[in-house]
Amino acid sequence: MSERSGRLATDVGGTFTDLVYLDETSGELEVAKVLTTPADPAIGVMDVIRAAKIDPHSVAFFIHGGTTVINAITERKGARTALVTTAGFRDVLEIGRGNRPDLYNLQFRSPESFVPRHLRFEVRERLDASGNVVRPLELDDVEKAAEACKVAGVEAVAVAFLHAYREPKHERAAAAQLRAALPGVAVTASHEITREWREYERTNTAVLNAYVQPLMAGYLSRLGDLARDAGIECELNAMQSNVGSTNFERAKTHPITLVESGPAGGVSGAAYLGRQCDAPNIIYFDVGGTTAKCSLIEGGVAKLDSEYRLGLTRLWPGYPIKVPVVDIVEVGAGGGSIARLDDAGMIRVGPQSAGADPGPACYARGGELPTVTDAKLITGVLDARTFSGGLFELDETRARDAMQSLAEPLGRTVEETALAVNRIAEADMVNALKLITVQRGHDSRDFTLLACGGGGPMHAGALAREVGVREILIPRHAGIFSAWGMLATPPRRDIALTTLATIDALKMSDIRNVFEKMIREAKEYFDLEQKLGKALAVSTKLAMRYQGQEHSVVTDVDLDTQDIDDILQGFHRAHERAFTFRLNDSPVELVTYHLAAEVEAPMPPIAPPVLATGAKDNAVRGQRSVWFDESGPRDATIYSRERLAQGIELQGPAVVEENTTTTLVLPGQRLWVDQWGLLRIRED
């Protein structure tokens, strides 16, 4: 039997299931990719493990992420779910917040709720805003709801009572009774997932957790069994949206924490990579088939969004989920995004995507509409033969035919049109990048743009120039970076506690006491007795505001060195940076304590055990014509990334090809290979 020294990450995406396997003894990295098996993604995961030809017995660490939860929600494939709620309030879930962000659409409707009205049961109980009992819980009503659930064949139940964020005892009692009365039915009480106020948001969170729970419990159990049968014996972990991991058992009861599991892997990897190679401030940028995603990492720490709404757009309110989710801005511009002319004859790109099926026109799988990938092929950025490491060849004729359908009405050449499609797709990406940087008070020149996903390294050069960043960094295996990032993800627990107090009324010891209680709670969660010798790293933050405001500003607090005045001054500064003003004379309130606790875990090395050697010329694959702008094509040198040795420098125009992505170096940009084998690009 082999020694257990391997770390294995698998990432189930919409199209592909990716694998990264690190042999800790040799430092070698194995990667593999297979098609996702939507009917039961566990099969695809086992396929990719077989494809990688790794020895399952050698796996010492197993982490798994992907889009299973978010797909179940967006495709409405979850369980038959009921809601048990405070009498008088069963319609809160359907009413939502009643807003119409699509202002001029007089046929607008709110998002449809995930529990039909006849499965929303009211029970008599009531607390006030301080948590005092106004009306005791009527257990008979809970009993009746349980009976009705049985008759209706309900598979999951959410319990959400008013003010349970403050005092959960009624929810706890009702949930206990429902669990006893409904064996085999998944029960989620809202306070178990979030302790923040606003009844619609917390109710919806509980409902969505319940909705995906049977499916995820089944899926993770099945995957666990298959992994065990195959010989994987270590603990099984799931990638959470909070850029941390949890084990399968806890994920089965809190599956909603996995909602942005895939992207969180990438952000986690980016934060770790940045910490290791002197780039603590990173703009994470991932271009996939249908979207581009970006996220900001400052001081080596990923940012979390406490106001996450699934599917939110400028015109659509989305579904609020009150768990910490990595702060990702997503735009509908990816490789498969379709370009078209609008009714005023302007080119528009996305959000419709050709996806992987039928895919871009150049895939020759039935797609006839021009996409960003077709534009990249026409402009010479992609090579028809080397794309995807030669897995399949692209069809340039089909790409040109598709682009011609836009070029003709515009009176443009195919190449000019393709350039315009690229630039418009990139404009969307630029807006997303600006949204997470300058629009939140950050100077993008302090940041490194880490580009990943199949498309990220193709666009990075132009975007970096437009946004203005310090440099570009292309990690190894950029096309499967999310899976790699999962290997760099420690177990993590986030706890937030809302309690309102003015700062003046608090002593530093009060704040310390609250955090210490939260740290104890985190230790219990990880059951640290079982993990002797593993340290808990905590980060502490406070959400504060000026009295009278509702929204707060979150700042770091150092319990050891800071006093109350330091905290106060830090808040004034943060407020001014974000919102242009400070109110020195206004009382300041502390609203929420935030604790993030991580268990120490081994991290993957960032450099391969053996770096490439040899002269630059050894890495040259040839030359081709690439259109960088409207002035016409230029000859660019094509390099093979595997052969680029440490320390090599090259000038744009150039293209660096590898199996999972293609990096474009613009004229006027310089690329070099750093000591870890990472590609770095700067303006000359």
Partner 1 sequence: MRLRPSADLIALISDGLYADKGLDSADMTAALADLEIIEGKLLAAVDEMGVVLARTSMSPVIYEVLDFACGICDANGELIAQSNGLTLFTGTFSAQVRFISRKFAGRIRPGDAFITNDPFEGGTHSCDMAVVQPIFVDNEIIAYSISVAHWLDVGGAIPGSLPPDAVDTFQEGLRLPGMRLCENGELLPEIADLIRVNVRLPLLALGDLNAELAATRIGERRLAAICGRYGAVAVKNVFESILSLSERRCRNAVALLPDGVYEATDVIDGDGVSDEQIPVCVAVKIDGDQVSVDFTGSAPARGGPINCSRGALLSAVKTVFKALVAPHAPSNDGWFRPLEIEIPGGTVFSAESPSPVGWYYEGSSQASELVWKALAPLASNRFSAGSYMSLCATYLYGQRPDSDDLFVHIEPQHGGWGATESRDGASALIASTDGDTFNYSVELLEAILPLRVREYSLNVGDGSGAGRHRGGFGVVREYEILTDAAYLHGSLGRSQERPWSVGGGTQGSVNYVDVTSASGSKRIARIKQMALAQGDTVRICTGGGGGWGDPSERPIEAVESDVVNGYIAVEDAVADYGLDPTRLSSVV
Count of beta carbons in the 10 Å neighbourhood of residue 545: 19
Q: Which residues lie closer than 8 Å to 234 by C-beta, 6 or more apart?
A: 4, 59, 60, 61, 62
Q: Which residues lie closer than 8 Å to 542 by C-beta, 6 or more apart?
A: 511, 554, 555, 557, 567, 571, 590, 592, 593, 594
Least Cβ distance, residue 420 to partner 1 (angstroms): 4
Give the whole-angstrom CA distance, residue 283 versus residue 492. Answer: 22
Site size toward partner 1 (CB under 8 A) is: 74
In the bound state with partner 1, the residue whose beta carbon lies nearer, of 198 and 507, is 198
For helices 508-526 and 564-579, angle between their N-to-C axes, nearest 10 degrees: 80
Distances (CA, A) of 456 to 251, 465, 605: 30, 14, 23
H or E element, residue 352: strand 347-353
Length of the chain: 684
Task: Scan residues 376-395 and list those touching partner 1 (CB under 8 A).
Answer: none
Does the N-terminal peptide bond of residue 116 adopt cis geometry, omega within 30 degrees of 0? no
* β-pairing verdict for 292-298 and 301-302: antiparallel
In the list 39, 76, 183, 314, the residue contacting partner 1 (rule: CB under 8 A) is 314
Identity of the residue numbered 312: L
- Does position 309 bind partner 1 by CB under 8 A? no
In the bound state with partner 1, the residue whose beta carbon lies nearer, of 430 and 612, is 430
Give the whole-angstrom CA distance, residue 34 versus residue 25. Answer: 26
Least Cβ distance, residue 344 to partner 1 (angstroms): 5
Task: Scan residues 198-227 and list those touching partner 1 (CB under 8 A).
Answer: 198-201
In the bound state with partner 1, the residue whose beta carbon lies nearer, of 76 and 314, is 314
Give the whole-angstrom CA distance, residue 132 versus residue 548. Answer: 24
Least Cβ distance, residue 457 to partner 1 (angstroms): 21
Task: Scan residues 424-443 and list those touching partner 1 (CB under 8 A).
Answer: 424, 427-428, 430-431, 434-435, 438-439
In the bound state with partner 1, the residue whose beta carbon lies nearer, of 95 and 537, is 95
Least Cβ distance, residue 314 to partner 1 (angstroms): 6
Q: Exposed/middle/buried for 65, CB within 10 Å: 0-12, 13-18, 19+? A: buried
Task: Scan residues 488-517 and list those touching partner 1 (CB under 8 A).
Answer: none
Task: Scan residues 168-197 and list those touching partner 1 (CB under 8 A).
Answer: 197
Identity of the residue numbered 265: G
Least Cβ distance, residue 309 to partner 1 (angstroms): 13
User: Torsion-angle region of residue 412: left (phi > 0), alpha (psi -120 to 50) or beta?
Assistant: beta
Q: Longest Cα pair distance anywhere in the chain, in angstroms? A: 81
Give the whole-angstrom CA distance, residue 20 versus residue 336. Answer: 25
Task: Scan residues 646-665 and list those touching partner 1 (CB under 8 A).
Answer: none
Task: Scan residues 619-638 and list those touching partner 1 (CB under 8 A).
Answer: 629-631
Kindly write out the interface string for residues 397-426 of this chain, putting x where it contacts partner 1 by CB under 8 A and - elsewhere: -------------xxxx--xx-xx--xx--
In the bound state with partner 1, the residue whose beta carbon lies nearer, of 240 and 444, is 444
In the bound state with partner 1, the residue whose beta carbon lies nearer, of 175 and 419, is 419
Least Cβ distance, residue 409 to partner 1 (angstroms): 9
Q: Write out the E strands in 50-103.
A: 59-66, 81-86
Task: Scan residues 527-586 and list those touching partner 1 (CB under 8 A).
Answer: 546, 548-551, 578-581, 583
Nearest by Cα to 415 from 441, 461, 381, 368: 381
Task: Scan residues 70-129 and list those touching partner 1 (CB under 8 A).
Answer: 88-92, 94-110, 116-118, 128-129
Least Cβ distance, residue 258 to partner 1 (angstroms): 27
Q: Radius of gyration of the chain from Cα atoms?
A: 26
Least Cβ distance, residue 347 to partner 1 (angstroms): 7
In the list 59, 84, 338, 347, the residue contacting partner 1 (rule: CB under 8 A) is 347
Least Cβ distance, residue 444 to partner 1 (angstroms): 12
Least Cβ distance, residue 419 to partner 1 (angstroms): 7
